[in-house]
Amino acid sequence: MTKSEFAKIIDHTALKPDTNETNINQLCEEALKFNFGAVCVSPTWVPLAAKKLAGSLVKVVAVVGFPHGSTLTSVKAFEASQVISCGADEIDMVINIGALISGHEDIVFIDIESVVQSAIKVNPRVIVKVILETAFLSDGQKTLACKIAEKAGANYIKTSTGFATSGANVHDVSLIRGVVENRLGIKAAGGIRDLSTAKAIIAAGATRIGCSSSVSIFQEYLKEA
C-alpha cells in the first residue's frame, strides 16, 4: 500500500463530547496536511468542517443517531438530511441496537432504510455507513445486522462508535468481511491507536479506518515505509 493509499483509508476523527472549534480546525488542518480520506465529526461541526475543507479532496463524515442508536427513526432520517445539506459527504449512523438484540429485525431494517432514503434524496452520491456497535452483539447478531444493513441499502458496515466497552478487532472485521464479501466496505473504528493494530485490521478486511490517533499512526507508517 502506498503512502497515498494508506492516507486515503483514514477517517480522521473528533467525536468526544468536549470537542470544540479549535479541535475541529486542527482536525481539518491535519487532514489536509496528510491527505487523509475524510474527517468524521458530530453534526454540529459539519458546517465548519465543510468550510475548512472546501475545494479539497478530504470528505466530511457526519455521525447520525450517535452514539447510542436509540434515537427515533424519524429523527435519524431528518438528522441525515440536515447534515448532508450542511455539507456532509458521508453518514455514519448507529443502528437501533436494542431493537436488534430484542429480535425486531423489521424495526432495524426500517431504521436503516429510512436514513439511507432520506440521505440520497439530498445527495444521490452520499455514502451511508451503518455502525453495529459490535461490543454489545453476539456473532449471530453481527451477521444478521450486516445482512439487514445491506438489504436496506447501506454502503459500508462500521464496527463501533468508540464509546462502548470495546472497539474494532480482527475477529469482528473478519466476520463482517465473510458476510458482506466484496459487496460492501468495512470501516473499523474504536481503539485503533497504533500502526500494528491498523495493519492487522486492514489485513482482516477493513477498507476504512476511523481513529483520533491518525497522525501518530500515519507518522509511524512513514517511518516504516
Contact 190, 167 (CB under 8 A): yes
Rounded Cα distance between 146 and 131, Å, is 10
Active site includes 111? no
Of the candidates 59, 76, 129, 158, the residue annotated as catalytic is 158
The residue annotated as part of the active site, out of 59, 76, 142, 187, is 187
Determine contact, residues 38/90, Cβ cutoff 8 Å. Answer: yes
Nearest C-alpha neighbor of 169 from the set 177, 83, 101, 81: 177
Where is 92: in which H helix or E strand?
strand 90-94
Is 187 one of the annotated active-site residues of the chain? yes
Q: Report d(CA 57, CA 80) in Å as an integer.
A: 21
Catalytic residue from among 92, 111, 129, 172: 92
Quick check: is 16 catalytic? no
Active site residues: 92, 158, 187
